[in-house]
Chains A and B, each alone.
Chain A
Amino acid sequence: MQATVRARGFDVGLSLAPGETVAVMGPNGAGKSTLLSVVAGLLRPDSGRSVIDGKVLFDLDGGASVWTAPHHRRTALLAQEPLLFPHLSALENVAFGPRSAGTARKAARESAREWLAAVDAGDLEARRPAELSGGQAQRVAVARALAANPEVLLLDEPMAALDIHAAPLLRRLLKKVLAGRRAIIITHDVLDALMLADRVIILEGGKIAEEGPTRQVLQRPRSRFAAGLAGLNLIPGTITATGIRTTEGLEVAGHQDEDLLPVGSGEPNMAGQPGVAAFPPSAVSVFLSDAHGSPRNSFPVTVTDLEQHGDQIRVRAGGMSADITPAASADLGLAPGMTVHFVIKAAAVAVYPA
């Protein structure tokens, strides 16, 4: 699929293997929901083309544009809220897809019962949506989406509106039902990406900033958003012999990560290429004065925020984070607005191409 929506600055190309689940992550307004709307046929892109198993969903590039209406696409949508039809029982909600496909009432109900049982909601079939808890309703909504026998399941932050007790249950359920199913899931939760998706796409400003297998993206993030997800500091720049040089001319010493080179490319020195330096906040020490020692990086920065992070204090300064103990923070007398030095051992900084 490839699509452009000019009004929203959206330009994304994406392909999905059969049985593959892709997680789409990114900041608010990055175009995640736009992507789902385009696939579902609820939003018409300005240009682009999408084919699924030989069936053209839309083709707006050629002379004669093709546009398949949403109800012919078989792309069931599961939104943040369950959006169960309030006037229908749970069973009739689940039977809605099969009924719309022309299945007879009785057969549709049979299939609905099976799907309700599959999401552990068999005992809820007679209830109205108003009589269901948030987690129950979302489970029924999952059954309703699956009962429509979609070719692609579109999930728009399905866990976001659930409380902390209901979310893990639904996540387990989704893991079960998404296995071997083609799906796109929008999520803010890195756990969803890890558990449910084979691949993750990071959208930023309507474009794909980064994509790859979930593990790889989290271990070696190339975009600032993915680095935030992985809990890493990220400094983009140009790779040098000793590390990386930012556009502002800042030199960051680090070690080049050879695991990351494509197999057979041979050349370990990636100098001159655009790259990033990544390091965890726990590798950052905070000093009041410039302290040089072994190969270290030392950056003067101004503290913007201090916050509790687990049993550590997270110090945010100059677009980076440092995790230090509360005792250390008290010793230093840290407060927003102070100028301090962030010191990172070069050995803790991984440098790899962007």
Chain B
Amino acid sequence: MDLGRGSGYHGVPRWVYAIAAAGGVFVLLPLAAMAARVNWPQFIPLVTSESSLTALGLSLRTSAASTALCIIFGVPLALVLARSSFPGQRLLRAFVLLPLVLPPVVGGIALLYTFGRQGLLGRSLEAAGIQIAFSTTAVVLAQTFVALPFLVVSLEGALRTAGGRYEAVAATLGARPTTVLRRVTVPLVLPGLASGAVLSFARSLGEFGATLTFAGSLQGVTRTLPLEIYLQRETDADAAVALSLVLVAVAVTVVGLTYRRPGQKDQRSVPAGGTASGRMDGAR
């Protein structure tokens, strides 16, 4: 069982370490370079300026809202993709995952032609007195659009790793499907759901292109932190760098929370030795 683990043989050639180190430096160096440019004496005033706090608050609120939307739509999507089979399933998966590879600005344009004034649904919504584009709602929709695949991918992996056997047993014990979902499926994949939600939150927090295109940059309404940073960079580079650092800190926290070692994961939901790490891999 422990073959290849711990201090034993691992079979990774040394030159792989050298290249891996270079790759790590490539990621870390820019962050260090940015941290070096922070105007530390002015750091607190810069990040607590009114516009910064407004942007940060808006970012946190919209990201929380879009994470909630991701869970509402993502859980059923992941369940349908992982547990059932129907014609067009592969196509549905491909389309759900599309925002992962789509340039966000394209997503923004697509949303604009859906919910914008002249858009597919926008016209009817406008008639009903609802205007979505260039509102805080638009920010949330843009963030949900780009963040949804993260939750679906995480959760579908977790569901597939967990398998359907516990659910089958639960059904033979007399549990109706909704009971099985509530008492067995969701608790089993909770780690996967949590990491998916955290990833969605992080992706929402960093969303720029789709937000700018679909929601604009209106202070207090649609100007989230990334937009604020981009704007400040033109006028006040120090503020932009300081706020960037705040986003880095949030991102590091989020990643740290998600990618804890499997052993530190919620022990309750780990069924037996081998499957724990498998579940984690599925969640990634």
A74 at the binding interface (Cβ < 8 Å): yes
**In the bound complex, how far is the Cα of B268 from the Cα of A87, in angstroms?**
5
Q: Is B173 touching A42 in the complex (CB atoms < 8 A)?
A: no
Give the chain B neighbours of A75 by CB distance below 8 A: 172
Hey, which chain A residues are within 8 Å of B267, CB to CB? Answer: 130
Given the interface pairs A42-B168, A70-B171, the reply to whether A86 lies near B269 with Cβ below 8 Å is yes
> What string of 1s and 0s marks CB contacts (under 8 Å) between A72-97 and chain B?
11111101000101111000000011
Question: Is the CB–CB distance between A145 and B270 below 8 Å?
Answer: no
Across the interface, name the chain A residue whose C-beta is closest to B186: A87
Task: Please tell me if A148 contacts chain B, counting CB pairs below 8 Å.
Answer: yes
CB of A154 within 8 Å of the partner chain: yes
What's the dominant secondary structure at chain B's contact region?
helix
A96:B173 contact, CB within 8 angstroms: yes
Chain A residue at minimal CB-CB distance from B275 = A86
CB–CB A79/B165 < 8 A: yes
Tell yes or no: B184 within 8 A of A by CB.
yes
Would you call B165 and A74 a contact (CB within 8 A)?
A: no
Alpha-carbon separation in the docked complex, A114 to B190 (Å): 31
Cross-chain contact A77 with B174 (CB below 8 angstroms): no
* B272 CB–A CB distance under 8 Å: yes
Q: Does B90 count as interface, using CB distance less than 8 angstroms?
A: no
A85 to B168, CA, bound (A): 12
Residue A349 at the chain B interface, CB threshold 8 Å: no
A203 at the binding interface (Cβ < 8 Å) = no
Question: What is the 8 Å Cβ interface bit string for chain B, positions 231-271, against chain A (1 contact, 0 not)?
Answer: 00000000000000000000000000000000000011111
Asked if B187 contacts A85 (CB within 8 A), the reply is: yes
Residue of A whose beta carbon sits closest to that of B179: A100
Contact check, A145 vs B173: say whether CB atoms are below 8 A apart: yes
- The answer to the question of A101 belonging to the interface, with a C-beta cut-off of 8 Å to chain B, is yes
Residue contact B175 to A128, C-beta cutoff 8 Å: no
Smallest CB gap from B266: residue in A = A87
Q: Considering the complex, give the chain B residue whose CB is closest to the CB of A75.
A: B172
Which residue in B165, B173, B272 is a CB contact (below 8 Å) of A100?
B173
Given A100-B179, A128-B268, A130-B267, CB of A83 within 8 Å of CB of B165: yes
- B270, A130: Cβ atoms closer than 8 Å: yes
B270 touching A144, Cβ below 8 Å: no
- Which residues of chain A have C-beta atoms less than 8 A from B177's C-beta? 71
Chain A contacts of B172 at CB under 8 A? 40-42, 70-71, 73, 75-77, 148, 150, 154
A129 close to B (CB within 8 Å): yes
When the two chains form their complex, are residues B170 and A85 in contact, meaning their CB atoms are under 8 A apart? yes
Q: State whether the Cβ of B169 lies closer than 8 Å to any Cβ in chain A.
A: yes
| A150 to B172 alpha-carbon distance, docked (Å) | 9
Question: Contacts of A77 on B, CB cut-off 8 Å?
Answer: 168-169, 172
Q: Enumerate chain A residues within 8 angstroms of B183, measured Cβ to Cβ.
A: 85, 96
1/0 per residue B178-197: CB within 8 Å of A? 01100110011010000000
* Complex contact A87–B174 (CB within 8 A): no
CA gap between A69 and B176 in the complex, in Å: 9
Within 8 A of B (CB), among A115-159: 128-130, 144-145, 148, 150, 154
CB distance from B234 to the nearest CB of A (A): 51
Would you call B40 an interface residue if the criterion is a C-beta within 8 Å of the partner chain's C-beta atoms? no
Most buried by B among A69, A76, A85, A101: A85
Instruction: Say yes or no: B174 contacts A129, CB within 8 Å.
Output: no
Q: State A69–B170 Cα separation when bound (angstroms).
A: 12
Chain B residues with CB under 8 Å of A154's CB are: 172
* Complex interface: chain B residues within 8 A of A144 (CB): 173
A70 to B175, CA, bound (A): 9
Contacts of A96 in B (CB 8 A): 170, 173, 175, 183
Instruction: Let me know if A87 and B188 touch, CB within 8 A.
Output: yes
Given contacts A130-B267, A130-B272, contact A85 B175 (CB under 8 A): no
Q: Are B184 and A85 in contact (CB under 8 A)?
A: yes
Residues of B within 8 A of A (CB): 165-166, 168-177, 179-180, 183-184, 187-188, 190, 267-272
Q: Measuring CB to CB, which residues of chain A are less than 8 angstroms from any residue of chain B?
A: 40-42, 69-77, 79, 83, 85-88, 96-97, 100-101, 128-130, 144-145, 148, 150, 154
- Top 7 closest A-B pairs, CB basis? A100-B175, A86-B271, A70-B171, A77-B172, A97-B173, A87-B187, A100-B174
- What are 29 of the A-B contact pairs (CB < 8 Å)? A40-B168, A40-B171, A40-B172, A41-B172, A42-B168, A42-B171, A70-B168, A70-B172, A71-B172, A71-B175, A71-B176, A73-B172, A75-B172, A76-B173, A77-B169, A77-B172, A79-B165, A83-B166, A83-B169, A85-B184, A87-B187, A87-B188, A87-B268, A97-B174, A100-B170, A100-B176, A100-B179, A145-B173, A148-B172
Known: A77-B169, A87-B269, A97-B174. 11 other contacts (CB 8 A): A41-B172, A69-B176, A70-B171, A71-B171, A86-B268, A87-B188, A87-B190, A96-B170, A100-B179, A150-B172, A154-B172
